[in-house]
Amino acid sequence: MQSLKQKVLAYLENIIEHFEKLLEPYMCHCANTVAQNKYIKNLKSNLKSGEFIVHSDFSENYNTKYASEIQSFHFGSSRQQVTLHTSVIYYVKNEEISTKSFCTLSECLRHDAVAIWEHLIPILNFIEKEVSEVKFLNFISDSPSAQYRIRKMFYVMANLHWNYPKRRVVWNYSEKGHRKGATDGVGGVLKRTADQIVAQGNDIPNIEALISHLKIRCPGVSIEEFVESVILEKELLIPSDLKEFRGTMAVHQAIWSCNNPEVLTMRRLGCDMGIYSEESVQCSHGQHIGFYNIGNTALSNNT
C-alpha cells in the first residue's frame, strides 16, 4: 500500500463552505481547551488542606534491552514490554503545596479502566497515610474513550469509597490532544534513565531489573509493581451489564459526592462556582449534561 499526494480542484465557494463547516467544531475545541486549562490552573492555585489533585496518564510502554544485542534481536519483535502508568499528586502539607511522583509498572499490557483502577491503588494508599481525613479528591487525565472516559471508569470512580472513604471525588478530562504535563516528564525521566543504564553496560532483560535500577537512580519517584492476576480480580467486581451514558464524548467533568452516592453528575466543562464544584447537583451555568444514576449494578442516565 502506497501513500501519494493528490491535487484536489474545487470552486472557491465550495472551499469556503467546507472551511466554514470545519470552523465551528475547531473553535469549540479551542474554547474547551482554554476553559479546562483555566479550571485546572485555578484548582491547583486554590488547593486546601485535605484536598488532593491526582494527575495521571499512561506513558509509552518500555521495551527491555541488553547492553549488547545480536542483530536479529535488535530489529526483532521478541522484546518484553512493560506498562508504565505515571501520576503526580498535588496536596497541602505544612501550609505549602507539595508534590509526589508515582509510577506503577506491570507486565500486563492492558490500558483499560480495570487496569487503571489497580494502577491507582498505591496512590490512594499514599493519600490515606498522608492525611487523616481526605475531603476532596480531584483526578485529572486526558480523555481517551478506551481508558479514562468510559462507563467502567465512571463505575470505578463512584465506588472508590468501598476501600477508601471519600467525601467527594471529581474527575476532570482535558480536551483531546491537550493534556501534556508533569506525568509526561515523569515517564520521560524514567525511560531516559533506563536507557542510560543500558548505555553504561548494564542489561535490563525484565521488569524486575528495570524496577531495581530505577529505584536506585530515581529515588524521588515512588515505584510500584503489580501482576496481572490482581487486575483479573478487579475485573470481577465490575458488572458486565453497565449501560453507556449518552453524551460520554462531551463529558469533561464527572462528580461523585457522599451526599448523593448513587448519582454521578456529568458536565461539558469544569465548573468552579460555589457548591457546583463539589456536589453532584445540576450546574446552573450551562455545563450540565445529565445524571448517571448508579443503582446496585444497573446504570442509566437522565437529563
pLDDT at residue 189, rounded to an integer: 96
At 286, the amino acid letter reads G
Mean pLDDT for back-to-back runs of 10 residues, the chain (303 residues): 88 94 94 92 91 94 86 72 96 91 96 94 91 87 90 91 80 83 94 95 93 96 94 91 90 90 90 78 86 60 42
pLDDT at residue 215, rounded to an integer: 96
**Alpha carbons 82 and 110: distance in angstroms, whole number:** 10
pLDDT at residue 159, rounded to an integer: 87
Grid cell, residue 176, equals 483531546
pLDDT at residue 296, rounded to an integer: 46
CA dist list (Å): 183 to 73, 104, 129, 188: 31, 12, 22, 9
The dihedral of CA 248, 269, 99, 164: what is its sign? negative
Residue 77: left (phi > 0), alpha (psi -120 to 50), or beta? alpha
pLDDT at residue 165, rounded to an integer: 75
CA dihedral 259, 264, 265, 268 (to 10 degrees): 150
Domain ranges of the chain: 51-136+178-238
Exposed (0-12), middle (13-18) or buried (19+): which is 70, by Cβ within 10 Å? exposed
Question: What is the full DSSP assignment across 67-90?
Answer: SS--HHHHSSS-PPEEEEEEEEEE
**Alpha carbons 6 and 184: distance in angstroms, whole number:** 36
**Alpha carbons 88 and 73: distance in angstroms, whole number:** 35
Question: What is the full DSSP assignment across 104-157?
Answer: EEES----SHHHHHHHHHHHHHHHHHH-S---EEEEEE---TTTTSSHHHHHHH
Instruction: Please give the DSSP secondary-structure letter assigned to residue 243.
Output: P
pLDDT at residue 241, rounded to an integer: 86
- State the pTM of this model: 0.89
Please, are residues 134 and 127 in contact by the beta-carbon 8 Å criterion? Answer: yes
Please, are residues 227 and 251 in contact by the beta-carbon 8 Å criterion? Answer: no
